[in-house]
Structure 1
Amino acid sequence: MLRDLFTNITLLAGIASWLAAQFIKLFLFLWRERKFDYGFLFRLGGMPSSHTSSAAACATSVGLRAGWNSPVFAVAVGLLALIMIDAQSVRRAAGVQARLLNQMAEEFYRNHKFSPEKLVEFLGHTRLEVLMGALLGIGMALLMHHVWPWPT
Protein backbone atom coordinates (compact mmCIF):
# COMPACT_ATOMS: atom_id res chain seq x y z
CA MET A 1 0.00 0.00 0.00
CA LEU A 2 2.73 2.47 0.94
CA ARG A 3 4.66 1.47 -2.18
CA ASP A 4 1.57 2.33 -4.23
CA LEU A 5 1.62 5.87 -2.86
CA PHE A 6 5.27 6.34 -3.81
CA THR A 7 4.70 5.00 -7.32
CA ASN A 8 1.46 6.88 -8.01
CA ILE A 9 2.70 9.18 -10.75
CA THR A 10 -0.41 11.35 -10.62
CA LEU A 11 0.05 12.05 -6.93
CA LEU A 12 3.80 12.55 -7.32
CA ALA A 13 3.34 14.91 -10.29
CA GLY A 14 0.94 17.03 -8.23
CA ILE A 15 3.30 17.15 -5.25
CA ALA A 16 6.38 17.85 -7.39
CA SER A 17 4.57 20.62 -9.22
CA TRP A 18 3.40 22.20 -5.96
CA LEU A 19 6.95 22.08 -4.58
CA ALA A 20 8.39 23.55 -7.78
CA ALA A 21 5.88 26.42 -7.67
CA GLN A 22 6.65 27.16 -4.03
CA PHE A 23 10.42 27.18 -4.66
CA ILE A 24 9.93 29.46 -7.68
CA LYS A 25 8.01 31.86 -5.40
CA LEU A 26 10.84 31.70 -2.86
CA PHE A 27 13.52 32.44 -5.48
CA LEU A 28 11.48 35.26 -7.05
CA PHE A 29 11.12 36.82 -3.59
CA LEU A 30 14.86 36.39 -2.98
CA TRP A 31 15.68 37.99 -6.34
CA ARG A 32 13.21 40.87 -5.87
CA GLU A 33 13.75 41.65 -2.18
CA ARG A 34 17.37 40.50 -1.80
CA LYS A 35 16.52 38.63 1.39
CA PHE A 36 15.71 35.01 2.19
CA ASP A 37 12.41 34.06 3.81
CA TYR A 38 11.53 30.38 4.36
CA GLY A 39 7.95 31.50 4.97
CA PHE A 40 7.50 31.90 1.22
CA LEU A 41 7.47 28.11 0.93
CA PHE A 42 4.12 28.10 2.73
CA ARG A 43 2.47 31.38 1.66
CA LEU A 44 -0.61 31.68 -0.50
CA GLY A 45 -0.70 33.83 -3.61
CA GLY A 46 2.13 34.95 -5.85
CA MET A 47 3.82 33.73 -9.01
CA PRO A 48 3.08 30.98 -9.99
CA SER A 49 -0.11 29.59 -8.47
CA SER A 50 0.89 26.39 -6.68
CA HIS A 51 -2.72 25.22 -6.29
CA THR A 52 -3.27 25.57 -10.04
CA SER A 53 0.10 23.97 -10.75
CA SER A 54 -0.69 20.93 -8.63
CA ALA A 55 -4.19 20.53 -10.06
CA ALA A 56 -2.94 20.93 -13.65
CA ALA A 57 -0.23 18.32 -13.06
CA CYS A 58 -2.79 15.88 -11.68
CA ALA A 59 -5.26 16.51 -14.52
CA THR A 60 -2.53 16.11 -17.15
CA SER A 61 -1.29 12.92 -15.51
CA VAL A 62 -4.82 11.52 -15.40
CA GLY A 63 -5.25 12.36 -19.09
CA LEU A 64 -2.00 10.65 -19.99
CA ARG A 65 -2.80 7.53 -17.95
CA ALA A 66 -6.58 7.11 -18.27
CA GLY A 67 -7.06 8.72 -21.67
CA TRP A 68 -8.14 12.16 -22.80
CA ASN A 69 -11.73 11.00 -23.34
CA SER A 70 -12.10 9.20 -19.99
CA PRO A 71 -14.67 10.29 -17.39
CA VAL A 72 -11.89 10.52 -14.79
CA PHE A 73 -10.04 13.07 -16.94
CA ALA A 74 -13.27 15.08 -17.33
CA VAL A 75 -13.64 15.21 -13.54
CA ALA A 76 -9.98 16.22 -13.15
CA VAL A 77 -10.41 19.07 -15.65
CA GLY A 78 -13.58 20.20 -13.88
CA LEU A 79 -11.72 20.35 -10.57
CA LEU A 80 -8.84 22.18 -12.25
CA ALA A 81 -11.27 24.79 -13.61
CA LEU A 82 -12.78 25.29 -10.14
CA ILE A 83 -9.35 25.72 -8.58
CA MET A 84 -8.29 28.21 -11.27
CA ILE A 85 -11.47 30.27 -10.85
CA ASP A 86 -11.11 30.20 -7.07
CA ALA A 87 -7.46 31.27 -7.25
CA GLN A 88 -8.05 34.29 -9.45
CA SER A 89 -11.42 35.51 -8.30
CA VAL A 90 -12.70 34.30 -4.93
CA ARG A 91 -9.39 34.28 -3.04
CA ARG A 92 -8.20 37.45 -4.80
CA ALA A 93 -11.40 39.24 -3.72
CA ALA A 94 -10.84 37.98 -0.17
CA GLY A 95 -7.34 39.47 -0.30
CA VAL A 96 -8.68 42.85 -1.44
CA GLN A 97 -11.25 42.80 1.36
CA ALA A 98 -8.55 41.88 3.88
CA ARG A 99 -6.45 44.84 2.70
CA LEU A 100 -9.39 47.23 3.15
CA LEU A 101 -10.24 45.81 6.58
CA ASN A 102 -6.61 46.15 7.64
CA GLN A 103 -6.62 49.82 6.56
CA MET A 104 -9.85 50.46 8.47
CA ALA A 105 -8.58 48.65 11.57
CA GLU A 106 -5.26 50.51 11.45
CA GLU A 107 -7.04 53.86 11.33
CA PHE A 108 -9.42 52.87 14.13
CA TYR A 109 -6.69 51.47 16.37
CA ARG A 110 -4.38 54.43 15.74
CA ASN A 111 -6.97 56.66 17.38
CA HIS A 112 -7.57 54.25 20.29
CA LYS A 113 -3.94 53.15 20.94
CA PHE A 114 -4.52 49.47 20.19
CA SER A 115 -2.50 47.17 17.98
CA PRO A 116 -4.73 45.16 15.62
CA GLU A 117 -3.95 41.68 14.38
CA LYS A 118 -3.60 42.02 10.62
CA LEU A 119 -5.46 39.81 8.17
CA VAL A 120 -3.52 38.01 5.44
CA GLU A 121 -3.83 40.14 2.30
CA PHE A 122 -1.84 38.07 -0.17
CA LEU A 123 -4.38 35.33 -0.93
CA GLY A 124 -5.30 35.20 -4.60
CA HIS A 125 -3.65 35.33 -7.99
CA THR A 126 -3.66 37.35 -11.18
CA ARG A 127 -4.59 35.62 -14.43
CA LEU A 128 -0.91 35.47 -15.37
CA GLU A 129 0.01 33.75 -12.09
CA VAL A 130 -2.76 31.19 -12.63
CA LEU A 131 -1.69 30.63 -16.26
CA MET A 132 1.95 30.17 -15.25
CA GLY A 133 0.87 27.70 -12.55
CA ALA A 134 -1.12 25.71 -15.11
CA LEU A 135 1.80 25.64 -17.56
CA LEU A 136 4.19 24.56 -14.80
CA GLY A 137 1.83 21.75 -13.78
CA ILE A 138 1.34 20.51 -17.33
CA GLY A 139 5.09 20.63 -17.93
CA MET A 140 5.87 18.80 -14.70
CA ALA A 141 3.39 16.00 -15.50
CA LEU A 142 4.73 15.62 -19.05
CA LEU A 143 8.30 15.55 -17.74
CA MET A 144 7.54 12.94 -15.11
CA HIS A 145 5.60 10.74 -17.54
CA HIS A 146 8.15 10.84 -20.34
CA VAL A 147 11.50 10.91 -18.55
CA TRP A 148 11.15 8.30 -15.82
CA PRO A 149 9.93 4.71 -16.30
CA TRP A 150 6.90 4.58 -14.01
CA PRO A 151 4.93 1.38 -13.49
CA THR A 152 1.64 1.26 -15.34
Structure 2
Amino acid sequence: MNPIEQLLQNKILWVAIVSWFIAQLFKVIITLLQEHRLDWSKLWASGGMPSSHSAFVMSLAISAGQVWGYDSTYFAIAAVVSFVVMYDAANVRLEAGKQAAVINQIIEVLENPDLNPEERLKEILGHTPLQVVAGGVLGFVIAILSFM
Protein backbone atom coordinates (compact mmCIF):
# COMPACT_ATOMS: atom_id res chain seq x y z
CA MET A 1 0.00 0.00 0.00
CA ASN A 2 1.40 3.40 -0.94
CA PRO A 3 1.82 6.25 1.58
CA ILE A 4 -1.23 8.19 0.31
CA GLU A 5 -3.48 5.14 0.76
CA GLN A 6 -2.02 4.61 4.22
CA LEU A 7 -2.81 8.21 5.19
CA LEU A 8 -6.34 7.95 3.83
CA GLN A 9 -6.93 4.78 5.86
CA ASN A 10 -5.43 6.05 9.12
CA LYS A 11 -8.52 6.16 11.34
CA ILE A 12 -6.73 7.80 14.27
CA LEU A 13 -5.55 10.66 12.07
CA TRP A 14 -9.04 11.17 10.63
CA VAL A 15 -10.69 11.12 14.05
CA ALA A 16 -8.30 13.87 15.15
CA ILE A 17 -8.93 15.92 12.00
CA VAL A 18 -12.70 15.55 12.35
CA SER A 19 -12.46 16.62 16.02
CA TRP A 20 -10.50 19.72 15.01
CA PHE A 21 -13.00 20.54 12.26
CA ILE A 22 -16.04 20.13 14.53
CA ALA A 23 -14.43 22.38 17.16
CA GLN A 24 -13.76 25.02 14.51
CA LEU A 25 -17.32 24.68 13.22
CA PHE A 26 -18.60 25.26 16.77
CA LYS A 27 -16.71 28.59 16.76
CA VAL A 28 -18.67 29.67 13.68
CA ILE A 29 -21.95 28.58 15.28
CA ILE A 30 -21.17 30.26 18.62
CA THR A 31 -20.28 33.51 16.83
CA LEU A 32 -23.56 33.28 14.90
CA LEU A 33 -25.57 32.80 18.11
CA GLN A 34 -23.72 35.44 20.17
CA GLU A 35 -23.06 38.13 17.58
CA HIS A 36 -25.85 37.36 15.07
CA ARG A 37 -23.41 37.22 12.16
CA LEU A 38 -22.00 34.38 10.10
CA ASP A 39 -18.21 34.64 10.28
CA TRP A 40 -16.57 31.89 8.24
CA SER A 41 -13.11 33.21 9.18
CA LYS A 42 -13.66 31.52 12.55
CA LEU A 43 -13.28 28.21 10.72
CA TRP A 44 -9.52 28.89 10.51
CA ALA A 45 -9.03 31.16 13.54
CA SER A 46 -7.10 30.23 16.65
CA GLY A 47 -8.46 30.99 20.10
CA GLY A 48 -12.08 30.97 21.16
CA MET A 49 -14.59 28.39 22.31
CA PRO A 50 -13.94 25.49 22.16
CA SER A 51 -10.21 24.91 21.83
CA SER A 52 -9.69 23.00 18.59
CA HIS A 53 -6.10 22.28 19.63
CA SER A 54 -7.41 20.51 22.72
CA ALA A 55 -10.04 18.60 20.74
CA PHE A 56 -7.38 17.58 18.22
CA VAL A 57 -4.83 16.22 20.69
CA MET A 58 -7.34 14.71 23.12
CA SER A 59 -9.02 12.75 20.32
CA LEU A 60 -5.57 11.60 19.22
CA ALA A 61 -4.72 10.34 22.70
CA ILE A 62 -8.07 8.63 23.27
CA SER A 63 -7.93 7.05 19.81
CA ALA A 64 -4.46 5.68 20.58
CA GLY A 65 -5.82 4.28 23.83
CA GLN A 66 -8.76 2.68 22.04
CA VAL A 67 -6.54 1.07 19.40
CA TRP A 68 -3.45 0.04 21.39
CA GLY A 69 -4.75 0.08 24.97
CA TYR A 70 -4.51 2.67 27.68
CA ASP A 71 -1.41 0.94 29.05
CA SER A 72 0.48 1.28 25.73
CA THR A 73 3.45 3.47 24.96
CA TYR A 74 1.49 5.03 22.10
CA PHE A 75 -1.24 6.23 24.46
CA ALA A 76 1.35 7.52 26.95
CA ILE A 77 3.14 9.55 24.28
CA ALA A 78 -0.11 10.96 22.89
CA ALA A 79 -1.41 11.78 26.40
CA VAL A 80 1.77 13.63 27.37
CA VAL A 81 1.74 15.62 24.11
CA SER A 82 -1.94 16.41 24.73
CA PHE A 83 -1.28 17.78 28.20
CA VAL A 84 1.60 19.93 26.93
CA VAL A 85 -0.54 21.37 24.12
CA MET A 86 -3.49 22.06 26.43
CA TYR A 87 -1.26 23.65 29.08
CA ASP A 88 0.33 25.83 26.41
CA ALA A 89 -3.08 26.89 25.05
CA ALA A 90 -4.42 27.87 28.48
CA ASN A 91 -1.28 29.50 29.83
CA VAL A 92 1.54 30.50 27.51
CA ARG A 93 -0.58 31.45 24.48
CA LEU A 94 -3.24 33.11 26.64
CA GLU A 95 -0.60 35.34 28.24
CA ALA A 96 0.94 36.11 24.85
CA GLY A 97 -2.50 37.26 23.70
CA LYS A 98 -2.80 39.56 26.72
CA GLN A 99 0.61 41.04 25.93
CA ALA A 100 -0.44 41.62 22.32
CA ALA A 101 -3.51 43.53 23.54
CA VAL A 102 -1.36 45.80 25.72
CA ILE A 103 1.14 46.40 22.92
CA ASN A 104 -1.71 47.29 20.55
CA GLN A 105 -3.00 49.80 23.13
CA ILE A 106 0.47 51.35 23.37
CA ILE A 107 0.61 51.67 19.58
CA GLU A 108 -2.76 53.46 19.58
CA VAL A 109 -1.58 55.88 22.28
CA LEU A 110 1.55 56.72 20.34
CA GLU A 111 -0.55 57.38 17.22
CA ASN A 112 2.29 56.55 14.94
CA PRO A 113 1.38 57.88 11.45
CA ASP A 114 3.70 55.31 9.89
CA LEU A 115 1.87 52.44 11.56
CA ASN A 116 0.28 50.00 9.19
CA PRO A 117 -2.90 48.58 10.82
CA GLU A 118 -2.10 45.18 9.33
CA GLU A 119 0.97 45.07 11.56
CA ARG A 120 -1.12 44.95 14.73
CA LEU A 121 -0.55 41.86 16.81
CA LYS A 122 -3.14 39.14 16.99
CA GLU A 123 -4.67 39.30 20.46
CA ILE A 124 -6.62 36.06 20.55
CA LEU A 125 -3.92 33.44 20.66
CA GLY A 126 -4.79 31.24 23.61
CA HIS A 127 -7.74 29.89 25.51
CA THR A 128 -9.34 30.18 28.89
CA PRO A 129 -9.24 27.00 30.97
CA LEU A 130 -12.95 26.49 30.21
CA GLN A 131 -12.29 26.64 26.45
CA VAL A 132 -9.47 24.08 26.84
CA VAL A 133 -11.64 21.74 28.90
CA ALA A 134 -14.52 22.08 26.41
CA GLY A 135 -12.18 21.21 23.54
CA GLY A 136 -10.75 18.27 25.47
CA VAL A 137 -14.22 16.92 26.27
CA LEU A 138 -15.26 17.35 22.63
CA GLY A 139 -12.19 15.42 21.43
CA PHE A 140 -12.78 12.72 24.04
CA VAL A 141 -16.42 12.24 23.03
CA ILE A 142 -15.68 12.18 19.29
CA ALA A 143 -12.91 9.62 19.75
CA ILE A 144 -15.02 7.35 21.96
CA LEU A 145 -17.95 7.54 19.54
CA SER A 146 -15.65 6.83 16.58
CA PHE A 147 -14.41 3.58 18.08
CA MET A 148 -17.75 2.19 19.34
TM-score under structure 2 normalisation? 0.93
User: What is the CA-CA distance between 1:144 and the residue it aligns to?
Assistant: 1.1
Provide the rounded CA distance (Å) in 1 between the counterparts of 2:145 and 2:102: 42
User: What is the CA-CA distance between 1:93 and the residue it aligns to?
Assistant: 0.5
User: Which residue in 2 is equivalent to 1:3?
Assistant: 5
User: Which residue in 2 is equivalent to 1:122?
Assistant: 124
User: Which residue in 2 is equivalent to 1:48?
Assistant: 50
User: What is the CA-CA distance between 1:114 and the residue it aligns to?
Assistant: 4.1
Comparing 35-44 with 20-29, greater Cα deviation is found at 35-44
User: What is the CA-CA distance between 1:95 and the residue it aligns to?
Assistant: 0.1
**1:18-61 superposed Cα distances (whole Å, 9 cap, x missing partner):** 00000000100011111111110011101100001000000000
Q: Is there any run of 5+ residues in structure 1 with no aligned partner, and where?
A: 147-152
Provide the rounded CA distance (Å) in 1 between the counterparts of 2:75 and 2:144: 15
Give the total of aligned pairs.
144
Q: How does 1:33-44 map to 2 (within 5 A)?
A: 33-44=35-46
Comparing 53-62 with 115-124, greater Cα deviation is found at 115-124
Would you identify which runs of 4 or more consecutive aligned residues in structure 1 move more than 4 Å? none
User: Which residue in 2 is equivalent to 1:21?
Assistant: 23
Provide the rounded CA distance (Å) in 2 between the counterparts of 1:45 and 1:82: 16
User: Which residue in 2 is equivalent to 1:107?
Assistant: 109
Amino acid corresponding to residue 69 of structure 1 in structure 2:
D
Residue 98 of structure 2 is aligned with which of 96, 109, 127?
Answer: 96
User: What is the CA-CA distance between 1:107 and the residue it aligns to?
Assistant: 0.6
Q: Is there any run of 5+ residues in structure 2 with no aligned partner, and where?
A: none
User: Which residue in 2 is equivalent to 1:137?
Assistant: 139
Alpha-carbon RMSD: 1.0
1:119 aligns to what SS in structure 2? Answer: coil
Comparing 79-88 with 115-124, greater Cα deviation is found at 115-124
Provide the rounded CA distance (Å) in 1 between the counterparts of 2:95 and 2:88: 10
User: Which residue in 2 is equivalent to 1:61?
Assistant: 63
Provide the rounded CA distance (Å) in 2 between the counterparts of 1:102 and 1:113: 14
